[in-house]
Chains A and B, each alone.
Chain A
Amino acid sequence: MPISDDDLSLPRGRCAGAAELSARADWIRRRTIDLIEIAGTGHYASTFSCAEILAVLYYDTLRLRRGEPNWPDRDRFLLGKGHVAVGLYPCLADLGFFPEEWLADYTRLGSPLGDHPDMTKVPGVDFSSGSIGHNLSVGVGMALSARLRKQDFRTFVLLGDGELHEGQVWEAAMSAAHFKTGNLVAVVDANGISLDGPIETVMSVEPIAPRWQAFGWSTVEIDGNDVGALRQAFADLPPIDSDVPTLIVARTVKGKGVSFMEADAGWHLGYLSEQDRARAIAELDARLSAVEVAR
C-alpha cells in the first residue's frame, strides 16, 4: 500500500491503517540498523522504543505536505531526544523532504545527517536538537507564534523520560501552561532506561502524569508501542484553541521490536555485530514481509 501524495496533504493526518503503521515502525527500525551500520555506533534501543510514535506522527497525525518541508501551516515536530534522529531521517527522506541518497552517507564527513538533527542542513527538521531539555521550550515559542499569527498548526515535542531530569523541561512546562498553549503536545517516550540504567535508579521521574498535571497540563497515559492507542490519543487532542497543553505519557519498551534488545538494558547505545545484526534484521524482515509497506 504505497502512500500517495494526496494522502499526505489531507487537512490533518491521513488515517493510515493500524497494520500499515505497525509495519512502518518496523521499517524505521530496519532503516535504523542500516544507518547505524554506516556510523559504527548509535542509539538503537532509544530509537526502537519510539518507532511507533514516529510512525504514527509522520504517517498519520502530522499535517504535512510531501516535498514541502517549509510549508508555513505544517504541524511542527521537535525531537527533544535528538539522539534518535537516525529513526527520523528515513521518514523525512521518504516524505520527499531531502533525497534518499543522503542516507547512504549518514554521519560521514560533510554529511548533513549527524547523530543529532541540524535544522540548517536537514529539510524537514523543524529545530536542531542534541542538548537534552531545550526543545520543549522551543516548542512553547512555536506554539506562541501560531497564536500570534492565528495559525492552526500544532507543535509536537518528543521527549525522553530521562530528559525529564533536565530542569529546563519544567521551566518550559510551567510557561506552556501559563501562556495557555493548548496547541502544544508533548510526548514522553517513557522507556524507563537511560544511559546508566533504569531511570528509577538513576534519578526518579515518577509519577510522571501527576507531576505534569500539577504544572497545569492535561495528561493521558497509553501504551506507546500500540499504534492504535497512539492514533487515538492524537485524535483525542483538545481543540486547537484550547488553553491547556497536552502531555502524552507513552509507556514504551526500550529496544522494542528486537527480542534480544528488549531483554537487555545495555542497548541504549551500541553497535550490532554481524551476527546480532543478522538476528535483528531477520526478526524485523519476518514481520515486514507479512505486510506490504516498506520500501
Chain B
Amino acid sequence: MSSRPSWNVTTSMQTLTSFVAGELLADLVDDGHDIVVLTADLATSNKLVDFADRHPERFFNVGIAEQNMMSVAAGLAACGHQVFVATFASFASLLCAEHLRTDLAYPHVPVRVLAHHAGVAMGFYGTSHHAVEDIAITRAIAGMTVISPSDTKSVRAALLASLDEPGPVYLRLGRGRDKDVYSETPTLTRGRLLTVREGADATVIATGIGVAEAAAAADQLRTEGLSIRVLDAVWLKPFDSATAVKAARETGAILTVEEHNVVNGLGTAVAESIALAGVAARLDRIALQDEYAVVAPPTHLYRKYGFTAESIAARLRALLGR
C-alpha cells in the first residue's frame, strides 16, 4: 500500500506564488527604501524569510506576540521608517483591533499590515484562524486605508501603492495560491475600483479570490448571451462609491462577492453607496450569512459558501430572472 509523500513547509512554500512581499520589499531596500519588516513566528508561512535572508538587520521576528509586534512597529514608524508587519488576518484584525486603531491609525503612523490568509483561507484550522470580520473592523477605523488585492500582480501593485500612504494600511491578502486575474500588473489608483470585464446587464463587485471567479462567471455567461461587468474592489477604503453607483445606474443589478461575513463588509459598502445616491438597483450578496464557517479544506469552503464561478453565475442568473 502506497503512502503519501512526506510534506515539509519548504516545498509547500514554493507554491505560494502570490506571497511576493518578501522579495519585493528586499528589492526596495536595495533601491534605498528605509523598510523594516516584522512578523510573529510566521516568516516561513508568509515567505518573509525571503526578506530576512537578504536584510537580516531590518527584520524582526517578535515571536508569537502579535500585539507587541503592532506597537513595536508603531514605534519604528514614528521614527520615520516604512514598516511592514505580517501575521494571519484573524490575529491582525481581531487580536490587534485596538492596536490598529490606537497605535497605528490614531497616531497616523505609516505601518503596513500584511494580513494574510484572510477570509476562510485557513480552512480546517477553523474559526480561530478565519478572518471574516476584518473588512468591517478595518473600514470602521478612521484613518485606516484598506487594500484587498486579488492575485499575484495586484499584490505587487498594492504593496507599491501602499508606500505612498502617509498613514497605516491594512493589506488583505489571501493564502498565497490565488488564481491570476491580471495579465499585466494593474495600475492602482487610490480609492478606485478596477474594471476587470465590461458589461451592461449586471455587475459583480468582488474582492480577493472572488474577482477571478467573477471574471470566469462573466466569461461563462457571455456564452449564454449575458453581458456582465466585473469590478475588482481592490481598494476597500476609501471606497469608490461613484463607480459602484455608476454600475448600479447603468446595469441595474449588482452582486457582491466577498470572503467575509455579510455584515459590514463589501456588500454593505456597495449598498450604502447606492442607497445614499438614491439609485434603485437589484442587489444580492455572496458572503457568509452571519455564521461561522464549517471545517474543510479552503477550496471546499469556497464551494460550500459560493465563492466560485459556478455559484456566482447561478446567482447572477437568478438576479436577472434567467
- Residue positions of A touching B, CB distance < 8 A: 118-120, 126-128, 130-131, 134-135, 137-146, 148-149, 155, 168, 171-172, 174-175, 178-179
Contact = CB atoms under 8 A, between A and B. Distances in A.
A168 B68 contact: yes
Interface in B58-91: 58, 60, 62-63, 65, 67-68, 70-81
18 contacts: A119-B107, A120-B107, A120-B108, A135-B71, A137-B70, A137-B72, A141-B71, A141-B77, A141-B78, A142-B78, A144-B36, A144-B72, A148-B81, A171-B65, A171-B67, A172-B72, A174-B63, A175-B68
B196 to A, nearest CB: 38
B72 A175 contact: yes
A174 B67 CA distance: 13
A4 B108 CA distance: 34
B105 to A, nearest CB: 11
B103 interface: yes
A142 B60 CA distance: 13
Contact of A148 (B57, B99, B107): B57
Contact of B102 (A128, A139, A172): A128
Contact of B74 (A118, A127, A174, A179): A127
A85 to B, nearest CB: 14
Contacts of A120: 106-108
A98 to B, nearest CB: 17
Contacts of A179: 60
Report whether over half of chain A's contact residues are helix, strand or loop; otherwise say mixed: helix
B71 A172 contact: yes
A127 B78 contact: yes
Interface in B96-110: 98-99, 102-103, 106-108
Interface string B32-63: 00001000000000000000000001101011
Contacts of A128: 102-103, 106-107
Interface string B166-179: 00000000000000
A175 B63 contact: yes
B99 to A, nearest CB: 7
Contacts of A141: 71-79
Report whether over half of chain B's contact residues are helix, strand or loop; otherwise say mixed: helix
A141 B102 CA distance: 16
A145 B102 contact: no
A27 to B, nearest CB: 29
Contacts of B57: 148
Contact of A168 (B58, B60, B67, B81): B67
A135 B68 CA distance: 10
A154 to B, nearest CB: 13
B75 A138 contact: yes
B75 A131 contact: no
A137 B71 contact: yes
B60 A127 contact: no
Per CB-CB distance, the 8 closest pairs between chain A and chain B, nearest first, are: A141-B75, A137-B71, A145-B79, A171-B68, A138-B75, A171-B65, A141-B72, A141-B76
Nearest to A140: B72
Contacts of A140: 68, 71-72, 75
A172 B57 CA distance: 19
A134 B99 contact: yes
B65 A138 contact: no
Contacts of B76: 141-142, 144-145
B38 to A, nearest CB: 9
A127 B107 contact: yes
Contacts of B99: 134
Contacts of B80: 145
A130 B58 CA distance: 29
B174 to A, nearest CB: 28
Given A168-B68, A171-B67, A139 B78 contact: no
A200 B71 CA distance: 28
A58 B194 CA distance: 52
Contacts of B58: 148
A103 B71 CA distance: 29
B65 A174 contact: yes
B60 A144 contact: yes
Contacts of B81: 145, 148
Given A148-B57, A148-B58, A130 B102 contact: yes
B102 A175 contact: no
A178 B41 CA distance: 14
B57 to A, nearest CB: 7
A142 B71 CA distance: 10
A155 B81 CA distance: 17
A138 B78 contact: yes
Contact of B78 (A126, A131, A134, A174): A126
Q: Which of A118, A131, A145, A178 has the most CB of B within 10 A?
A: A145
B106 A138 contact: no
A168 B71 contact: yes
Contacts of B63: 174-175, 178
Given A131-B98, A138-B103, A175-B62, A145 B75 contact: yes
Contacts of A135: 71
Given A140-B71, A148-B36, A174-B63, 17 more contacts: A118-B106, A118-B107, A127-B107, A137-B71, A137-B72, A137-B74, A137-B75, A141-B71, A141-B72, A141-B74, A141-B78, A145-B75, A148-B81, A149-B79, A168-B71, A178-B63, A179-B60
